[in-house]
Amino acid sequence: MDILWSPWRSEYIEGFKDESAKKEECFFCGAIEHPSEDTERLVVHRSKTCIVVMNKYPYNSGHLLVAPYRHIAEFQHLNTEEITDIMSMLQLSEKILNDLYKPQGFNIGANLGRAAGAGVPSHLHFHILPRWYGDTNFMATIGDIKVVSESIIKAQAQIADSFRQHFL
C-alpha cells in the first residue's frame, strides 16, 4: 500500500475535536428565519416542513440541499410528516433538475455527523446532486479544483422559478 503524507491536514482535523467551541450560526436556520432574504441565501423553495437551498459550494451545477425547519441532527428524530415532505421535495427536485439540466444520473443522500462528512453536522440535510459522465476532470485530479461553469445566482433564479411554476 502506498502512503500519501499530508501533515497540513492535521490542523484541519484538529479543528473538529471540540465542536462545542464552535458556535457558528447554522446557515439553514438563518435561511429559515429570514424569508425576505431567500435570493441572497440561495433558497429555491419552502414547503410545509422543510427548505430547499442551493449548495453555496456545489460539486456540480444544480446541487441542492433539503433540510427540515427543525434544527435536528439525527435522522431518527424526524417525524413522519417531515420524512414525507423531505422525500417529496427530493423527488420534485429530481424532476426539476432533470428538466433544467438533463443530467445522466443523481447522487441523493445525507452525511450524518462530522466523521461522515457533514459540513453542518448539527442540522440534518439531504443532498441532491446532478451527475454527468466525465463531470470530474483533470482539474479536480491534478489541481484539487472543481470547476462549476454556471453562475449560482442564475441557477438559483432558474430553479426557484421552476419550483414556483410547479405549484401554480
**What is the chain's pLDDT, residue by residue, as a tens digit (168 residues)?**
555 555 555 554 555 555 444 446 899 999 999 999 999 999 999 999 999 999 988 888 899 999 999 999 999 999 999 999 999 999 999 999 999 999 999 999 999 999 998 889 999 999 999 999 877 644 444 445 555 667 888 999 999 999 999 988
- Distance in angstroms (rounded) separating the CA atoms of residues 85 and 74: 16
pTM: 0.80
The active-site residue out of 77, 125, 127, 166 is 125
**Nearest of 45, 144, 142 to residue 97 by alpha carbon:** 45
- 166 included as an active-site residue: no
Residue spans of beta strands (DSSP E) within the chain:
43-46, 50-54, 64-68, 105-109, 126-131
> Which fold is adopted by the domain 24-166?
HIT family, subunit A (3.30.428)
Q: What is the CA radius of gyration of the chain?
A: 17
